[in-house]
């Protein structure tokens, strides 16, 4: 199964170190391969450095691609984390 959808980074600091670490921790709970793409630049969601290299800021769109048996659950979890501003109090 493959799910590919666009999400908007809504937290004030964007995909910074703490947010990237939370995303990696979450992504590693799934068997699905999760890739985050910004401006045609892909990053493996299991790599903090890769995610930070995307330099995603508040208001920017990223493409989330989940592939594998639990892709749907993985996408829902990632979407919840991003939409929830990475649990940051702003």
The residues annotated with a catalytic role in the active site are 16
How far apart are alpha carbons 42 and 53 in whole angstroms? Answer: 10
Question: SS3 of 38, please?
Answer: strand
Q: CA 74, CA 1: separation in Å to the nearest integer?
A: 11
Q: Which two tokens stand for residue 35?
A: 């890739």
What percent helix, strand, coil does the chain show, rounded to 5?
35, 25, 35
């Amino acid at each position: 199964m493959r799910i590919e959808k666009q999400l908007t980074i809504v937290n004030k600091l964007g995909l910074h170190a703490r947010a990237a670490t939370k995303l990696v921790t979450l992504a590693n709970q799934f068997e699905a391969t999760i890739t985050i793409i910004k401006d045609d630049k892909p990053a493996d969601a299991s790599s903090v450095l890769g995610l930070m290299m995307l330099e995603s800021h508040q208001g920017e769109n990223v493409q989330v691609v989940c592939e594998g048996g639990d892709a749907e659950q993985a996408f829902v979890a990632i979407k919840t984390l991003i939409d929830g501003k990475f649990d940051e109090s702003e």
